[in-house]
Chain A
Amino acid sequence: MYEIIEGFLEAARLIVTFDPDVMAIAARSIIISFTATIIATLIAVPLGAAINFGTFPGKKNLVNLIQTLYSLPTVIVGLLIFLLISRVGPFGFLRLLFTPTAMIVAQTVLILPIMTGLTISALSGVDPVIRDTLRSLGATRLQFLVNVLKEARFAILASVAVGFGRAISEVGAAILVGGNIAASSFASSTRVLTTAISLETSMGNISQSIALGIVLLIIALGVNLAITTVQHR
């Protein structure tokens, strides 16, 4: 018990004094997950829109498949990307294994289904009367699409928040394709909050783990606060 309290106090000190190690790991986490979220958004929103507005055979099954992939285990994604980019894999020549880029790719793949699915939900959640109103006002096909997206913007923003949350909090893929490397340079290190927590805990550095855990929660809280503020504006 004493150790845990001690751990919290030390964690508070690490955070308040902006401990360089903790801050570097936090910054790396944010950069990697944020980049993955941006890339996933750029794919998920057009893809979700295409699926929502399109009519094609098997649409329902496709949506079901996407929803099933919401709960894609992170280690499975990690394993898949690992196989693809390992030396013997088809993309081995890119030498991406154990780089931040590999982690971005893995996190993008991980959050793509949930962001696509939530985009589809967001768009299909737009009131049919709003859709009819847009058409009746003489919207072209493109004007119609843009304006339905605009109406769904807050729900889509929520899907972005969910994607970022899943990306920054996952550990399985980050360990497998990142390797939790603390290299000499910031850019080539792959140690992020979750992998660091896992390592420090196993090494008995409880206070470090708690500090990193609190930082992770603060980031998640910050993102959600920002989104809620925008939605209520």
Chain B
Amino acid sequence: MIEFDNVSKNFGDTRVLTGVTGEVNRGEIFTVIGPSGAGKSTLLRLIDLLDVPAGGAIRINGLDIHADKEKSLSVRRMMGMVFQKPAVFNTTVTENVAVGLRFRGVSKSETRKLTEDALAMVGLAGYGERRARTLSGGEMQRVALARAMVIEPEILLLDEPTANLDPVSVAMIEDLVVRINRDLGTTVIFSTHDMYQGQRLAHRIGVLMDGAFAQVGTPREVFTLPASREVARFVGIENIVEGVVVEREDGTAVVDAGGVRVRARSPFPRGERVSLCIRSEEIRIAPAIRGRRVSDGNILPGTVTAVVPRGPFSRVTVDCGFPLSSVLSWKAAEDLDIREGGRVEVVFAAESVHAVRQG
């Protein structure tokens, strides 16, 4: 439905978008995740015609939206947008929500009914006569959502709408977005720097890095099969190890990582330099037992270098020739008598190792 064709954008000498290519399907929630400054807001602003791309094209239903100025208003009226900073007009809540309807010349009685429905949808029924500026940040953002949705847009753009909100308001907005998408079939593009939020909401995720999509895929694909070392790092894969493929058989490869051999699922040929991505949740730590062998997995002996508390867990780092981290419950760490300087074995399956070509 929305196609990005090599979209670029500069602000002065700064290249914000360097060539975004991808597609958003009708009726899906597409989250754009990426670090701050990756160009997420710029991309959403370009879709909403608030900025003009320097190159490339954005097409909605085949129409290049920036090509024909005459059609700008009708294109923009297909969309609703909520911005990162909660912003309300200096008037009542009802008047805030009604603004888009007034722009479209909707009758007074119809406007009253639609604004009431929209406020009920976002859980603000009864707030209509309150001055919008007196609301909390979370409530203002729900007013903004009601204001964007009351015009029944085909596409809802949300630019980090929960970045400044408390956890309860974040959950509320997320729930609303999912319901809007499910019940009304609205296509949603949601940008966030919170990868877990991206994962929670999305049917598909686009990882925007350095002004282009580094990867587009389902949350599972992005989180388990990152396309590059940078994506892996961004989606929270803590263990990334550099190495060279030295052996190959049946989709499994042996990778030499600084003298330590790691078995990994890899399509790459011998001699290829790869980065091995291993989620810390996939790594087990066991007391050192001499002579244990497995045919298809990895058992790497090492020394515990750090045990750092993290919420109800402990993050244990082991030096196996390169550092590998795992996460254990406090109880498990105690039962296994894991302490700094202790000898342990780090155990993980070849399937848990995702190899990407070094860029």
The B-contacting residues of A in range 125-149, CB under 8 angstroms, are 127, 129-130, 132-140, 143, 147
Contact A136–B79 (Cβ < 8 Å): yes
Contact B87–A137 (Cβ < 8 Å): no
Closest Cβ neighbor of A139 among chain B residues: B103
Closest Cβ neighbor of A141 among chain B residues: B73
CB-CB under 8 A for A135 and B85, given A140-B103, A143-B103, A147-B99: no
CB-CB under 8 A for A151 and B89, given A137-B103, A140-B103: yes
| A138→B48 CA distance, assembly (Å) | 10
> Which residues on A sit within 8 Å (CB–CB) of B77?
138
Q: Could you give, for residues 182-200 of chain A, a 1 whenever the CB lies within 8 Å of some chain B CB and a 0 otherwise?
A: 0000000000000000000
> Which residues on A sit within 8 Å (CB–CB) of B76?
135-136, 138
> Which residues on A sit within 8 Å (CB–CB) of B49?
135
A133 contact from B87, B90, B102, Cβ within 8 A: B87
- With an 8 Å Cβ cutoff, the count of chain B residues facing the other chain is 25
Q: Does B332 contact A (CB under 8 A)?
A: no
**How many residue pairs between the two chains, A and B, have CB atoms under 8 Å in the bound complex?**
55
CB-CB under 8 A for A137 and B151, given A147-B99, A151-B89: yes
Closest Cβ neighbor of B76 among chain A residues: A138
Contact A136–B89 (Cβ < 8 Å): no
Name which of A133, A134, A151 has the most chain B CB atoms within 10 A of its CB: A133
Contact B103–A138 (Cβ < 8 Å): yes
| A132→B87 CA distance, assembly (Å) | 10
Q: Does B100 contact A (CB under 8 A)?
A: yes
Contact B50–A136 (Cβ < 8 Å): yes
B151 contact from A129, A134, A138, A140, Cβ within 8 A: A138
| A73→B86 CA distance, assembly (Å) | 44
| A138→B99 CA distance, assembly (Å) | 10
B80 contact from A132, A136, A140, Cβ within 8 A: A136
B100 contact from A127, A129, A138, A154, Cβ within 8 A: A138
> Which residues on A sit within 8 Å (CB–CB) of B147?
133, 137
Q: Could you give, for residues 86-112 of chain B, a 1 whenever the CB lies within 8 Å of some chain A CB and a 0 otherwise?
A: 010110000000011011100000000
Closest Cβ neighbor of A132 among chain B residues: B50
Contact A151–B90 (Cβ < 8 Å): yes
> Which residues on B sit within 8 Å (CB–CB) of A133?
81, 83, 87, 89, 144, 147
| A32→B76 CA distance, assembly (Å) | 48
> Which residues on B sit within 8 Å (CB–CB) of A130?
87, 89
Contact A136–B99 (Cβ < 8 Å): no
Closest Cβ neighbor of B74 among chain A residues: A138
| A130→B87 CA distance, assembly (Å) | 6
Nearest CB of chain A from residue B95's CB, rounded to whole Å: 10
The A-contacting residues of B in range 30-54, CB under 8 angstroms, are 45, 48-50
> Which residues on B sit within 8 Å (CB–CB) of A140?
73, 103
Nearest CB of chain B from residue A80's CB, rounded to whole Å: 39
> Which residues on B sit within 8 Å (CB–CB) of A151?
89-90
| A147→B77 CA distance, assembly (Å) | 17
CB-CB under 8 A for A136 and B81, given A143-B103, A147-B99: yes
| A28→B104 CA distance, assembly (Å) | 47
Q: Could you give, for residues 98-138 of chain A, a 1 whenever the CB lies within 8 Å of some chain B CB and a 0 otherwise?
A: 00000000000000000000000000000101101111111
Q: Could you give, for residues 144-184 of chain B, a 1 whenever the CB lies within 8 Å of some chain A CB and a 0 otherwise?
A: 10011001000001000000000000000000000000000
The B-contacting residues of A in range 161-201, CB under 8 angstroms, are none
30 A-B pairs, CB-CB below 8 angstroms? Answer: A129-B87, A130-B87, A130-B89, A132-B83, A133-B81, A133-B83, A133-B89, A133-B147, A135-B50, A136-B48, A136-B79, A136-B80, A136-B157, A137-B80, A137-B99, A137-B147, A138-B73, A138-B77, A138-B103, A138-B104, A138-B151, A139-B103, A140-B73, A140-B103, A143-B102, A143-B103, A147-B89, A151-B89, A151-B90, A154-B90
Q: What residues make up the interface of B, taking CB atoms closer than 8 Å to A?
A: 45, 48-50, 73, 76-77, 79-81, 83, 85, 87, 89-90, 99-100, 102-104, 144, 147-148, 151, 157
Closest 3 CB pairs of A and B: A129-B87, A138-B77, A137-B100
Q: What residues make up the interface of A, taking CB atoms closer than 8 Å to B?
A: 127, 129-130, 132-140, 143, 147, 150-151, 154
